[in-house]
Structure 1
């Protein structure tokens, strides 16, 4: 190792130490930087330390380590803990590969932990405002990308060559660029827009500002030309308007009116694109339905192994070796039925908070709206980390709400007791 390399390593280490100290001192700064990296730094940007760490994965680890706090664990945390133990055990027994285990622990479990911790250091309103702001900026850049046909993020250095080869290319449908921003794929970008829309609806901004932001995000989602993205955006907005507690009536009616106008404009535009796409769009749908031929390869525990050369029922499974657009099936192929069912259970329980009257939150609505999508898309690039972060955030949000209710009840008890004593004292005084 030459002198210049040592100098660069020393500078990088110094910057890292300063960053860690700043993150520990300022949880707000930590979350802002994390959100900016999530939305604006592609997964091929990172460092090689043993293996390649994407910037968002490395930053999530730093955020967890610098914001460790005491939290009250619950059943969903237990589910994630059991899955983590199973994944590690299966890897030790060589039942699961290194790549699958690293992805599970660093891109699923780690963001979940960050979501569980973040509200112990910053307020819910701050998290809401940051995510609403960042996604609006990302949507503006997406519209510029669609108008100019230029994605500025693909010109960033390919620090992770394999990841850049997988996600650095641009997609086109019906001769139109599909917007993907820094997310490496239009489906991932569409999912990010959809999940974040709940935070725009919930933000403490004037109604007009929220409507403009929501309109921008909706338009940008359409430019991804992702059917899943557009559908889950609609689910998220509808559930937000119907279920978010404390949402003012003006916002509810305004969003409903905006939805009608958007449908009138968007449906013909999208219909024309898919009509022009013809066989390409139809082939995409057929491919997803054909994935179920892989179910026969799933084990109770452990990886399905190498099925790339198999033919089942006349269908060649190798056609799906490079991509499986079904997150649940990916879970099952990598870890087996039992661990994958645990993962799905964690997401379902995180989403189930919307069923409690007055307890729905932006992250629980975001997760609930994505549940149908995980059977039609894979958790690619940052989308998986974002979904698991929101699952952890939904748990923390609900728990914080329960703690606040309990504190209010405890605070009310002395007041009631004091009131009764006051009345009692007044009775004695009148008898005198």
Structure 2
């Protein structure tokens, strides 16, 4: 290792230490930066340390390390811990690949942990406002992308050739650009905007501002030309309007009117696009149906192995090797039925929590609206990290008793909850 390499490594280490210290000192800045990276930094930007760490994964790790807090564990935490242990054991037994294990631990479990910790140092209303505002900014960028036909994010230099080759190309449907922003795929952006709409509805902004924000999110989601994105956006908004506690009547009726008006404008536009797309759009739907031929390859524990050269019932399975648009099936093919059912149980438990009277929260509503989608899309790029972060955030929301107008106390692992309450009682 030459002197220049050592110098660069030293500078990088110094910057990392400073970043960790700032993150610990300023939880608000950490969360804002994390949200901005989530929505505006593509997955092909990052660093290679052993393997490639995308910017959002690296920042999530820093956020977790600097936010370690004394939290009450529950059943969903146990489910996620058991899944993480199973994934590690399966990898050790060579029953799961390194790539699958890294994705599971860093893109699913790690964001879940971050979601569980974030309310230990921040209040609900701040988290809600930040996610709503950053999503609206991303929607504006998406509308500009659609209007200009230019995606500035694909112009950014690639730090991972494989990831850029996969996600750095633009999609077209019926000769129209499918907007994807920094998310690498139109479906991922559509899912991200749909999940964020719950926070826009819940944000403590004037009704007019929230309606404009929802209009921007809806417009950008339509420009992704993703059926799943548009449907889950509608599901999310409807559930938020019906179930969020404390939502004023003016907002409920205004959103209902906006939804009807938007449908009158959007449905003919979308219908025209899919009609022009013809076989391409129909083939996309048929492809998802054909994926069920892979079910026979799933093991009870462990990955399915190399099934790409097999044929089942005349169906050549190698046709699905490049992409599997069914997140639950991906779980099962990588880790087996039992670990995958654990993940599904965590998602369903959070989704069903919105049925508790007066207890529905924006993250739980966002997760609930995505439940049908996990059987029709894969958790690609940032969409998977965002979904699992919201699962963790929904669990933290149940346990948060700090009130929406006061900052959560920064309790440390070394403190007992009783001591932490007494030390920080003056802030409550």
Across the two proteins, how many residue pairs are aligned to each other?
404
What is residue 392 of structure 1 aligned with on the other side?
392
1:19-168 equivalences under 5 Å are 19-168=19-168
What is residue 7 of structure 2 aligned with on the other side?
7
Could you say what secondary structure the match of 2:79 adopts?
Answer: helix
What is residue 321 of structure 1 aligned with on the other side?
321
Quote the offset at 1:352 in angstroms: 1.7
Could you say what secondary structure the match of 1:234 adopts?
Answer: helix
Quote the offset at 1:145 in angstroms: 0.2
Quote the offset at 1:2 in angstroms: 3.2
Larger Rg: 1
Could you say what secondary structure the match of 1:159 adopts?
Answer: coil
What is residue 303 of structure 2 aligned with on the other side?
303
1:223 and 2:211 matched: no
Quote the offset at 1:250 in angstroms: 0.4
Quote the offset at 1:5 in angstroms: 2.8
- Please say if residues 91 and 98 of structure 2, whose CA atoms lie closer than 8 Å, have aligned partners that are also in contact: yes
Could you say what secondary structure the match of 2:400 adopts?
Answer: helix
Distance 1:333 1:15 in 2: 39
Quote the offset at 1:328 in angstroms: 0.2
Distance 1:352 1:27 in 2: 30
Distance 1:172 1:78 in 2: 43
Quote the offset at 1:10 in angstroms: 2.0
- Please say if residues 351 and 394 of structure 1, whose CA atoms lie closer than 8 Å, have aligned partners that are also in contact: no
Q: TM-score, normalised by structure 1?
A: 0.92
Distance 1:13 1:90 in 2: 33
Q: TM-score, normalised by structure 2?
A: 0.93
Could you say what secondary structure the match of 1:204 adopts?
Answer: coil
- Please say if residues 112 and 389 of structure 1, whose CA atoms lie closer than 8 Å, have aligned partners that are also in contact: yes
- Please say if residues 202 and 244 of structure 2, whose CA atoms lie closer than 8 Å, have aligned partners that are also in contact: yes
Distance 1:295 1:152 in 2: 39
Greater relative contact order (Cα < 8 A, sep 6+): 2
Gaps of 5+ in 1: 405-432
Could you say what secondary structure the match of 1:44 adopts?
Answer: coil
Quote the offset at 1:402 in angstroms: 9.9
- Please say if residues 350 and 392 of structure 1, whose CA atoms lie closer than 8 Å, have aligned partners that are also in contact: no
Quote the offset at 1:4 in angstroms: 3.0
What is residue 412 of structure 1 aligned with on the other side?
none
1:365 and 2:365 matched: yes
What is residue 417 of structure 1 aligned with on the other side?
none
Distance 1:42 1:2 in 2: 31
Which structure: greater helix fraction?
Answer: 1
Could you say what secondary structure the match of 1:52 adopts?
Answer: strand
Gaps of 5+ in 2: 405-428
Could you say what secondary structure the match of 1:48 adopts?
Answer: strand
Quote the offset at 1:8 in angstroms: 2.3
Distance 1:403 1:70 in 2: 18
Quote the offset at 1:16 in angstroms: 1.1
- Please say if residues 353 and 398 of structure 1, whose CA atoms lie closer than 8 Å, have aligned partners that are also in contact: no
